[in-house]
Amino acid sequence: MILSPSMLSSDFSRMGDELAALKEAGISWVHWDVMDGSFVPNITFGPPVIKNLRKRSDLFFDVHLMIREPERHLEAFADAGADMLVVHAEACLHLHRTLGAIRELGMRAGLALNPATPVTVLEHVMDLTDMVLIMTVNPGFGGQKFIASGLAKIRAARTMLNRQERETLLQADGGISPENAGEIVMAGASVLVAGSAFFNGAPYRERREAFEKALA
Ligand code: DX5
Ligand code: ZN
């Protein structure tokens, strides 16, 4: 299991130090929630912020774009140092082309699905997808409650992905804590995003261990 703490819940006034503390705590991935105030109600940060912080960190940058027309910004995120670039199926008119373009820029390509979007959207783009992100809250904010039907959806996505030879990561995002991490991984998730339940004041090493213990 990979744990990807969401910087959305970090202290924005000291993100560089936060990244160093995550590394120190044994974390290997970090999740960046990019929001445009249109695809989702909220606005966060974009390529210049990520690019500056890239200089401070060698963690794996897992960048979740909650923006309309993400195809207009792929090069900017490649230049900013994104390792995995995740686009929403609902935000792409030409999803197949966009996933291919992300890979051509040297990044891994991720596909995110809102809670109401069926997993079948994956069917004809599976070979272009390195990670599927199942939203287990409606995107836009941290600290929301896990949508229970997300478990069945993770199982359905896992079944689809297991039909192919190659391995595709399956990420769950939203409302995840040590309390429900076990059942989410049992359902088939291989990457867990955690925002508010990770950045809750306790030392990061302790938080990481709490998630790991929940899966033992
Ligand atoms: C929500 C974001 C999530 C968010 C998760 O739109 O995609 O990554 O940071 O936060 P928590 O873990 O607090 O639900
Ligand atoms: Zn996210």
130 is catalytic: no
Query: What sign does the CA torsion over 180, 186, 188, 192 have?
Result: positive
In order along its 216 residues, the chain shows pLDDT tens digits of 999 999 999 999 999 999 999 999 999 999 999 999 999 999 999 999 999 999 999 999 999 999 999 999 999 999 999 999 999 999 999 999 999 999 999 999 999 999 999 999 999 999 999 999 999 999 999 999 999 999 999 999 999 999 999 999 999 999 999 999 999 999 999 999 999 999 998 999 999 999 999 998
Which residue among 33, 36, 62, 130 is the active-site one?
A: 33
Q: Sheet holding 169-173: strands in order across?
A: 2-5, 191-194, 169-173, 131-135, 108-113, 84-88, 60-66, 29-35
Instruction: Give the pLDDT confidence score for residue 180 in this predicted structure.
Output: 98
Ligand 1 pocket, mutate which of 61, 62, 65, 173 (most atoms under 8 A from CB) = 173
- Residue 211 falls in which region: left (phi positive, over 0), alpha (psi -120 to 50) or beta: alpha
Q: Is the CB of 171 under 6 A from ligand 1?
A: no
What predicted TM-score, i.e. pTM, was given to this entire model?
Answer: 0.98
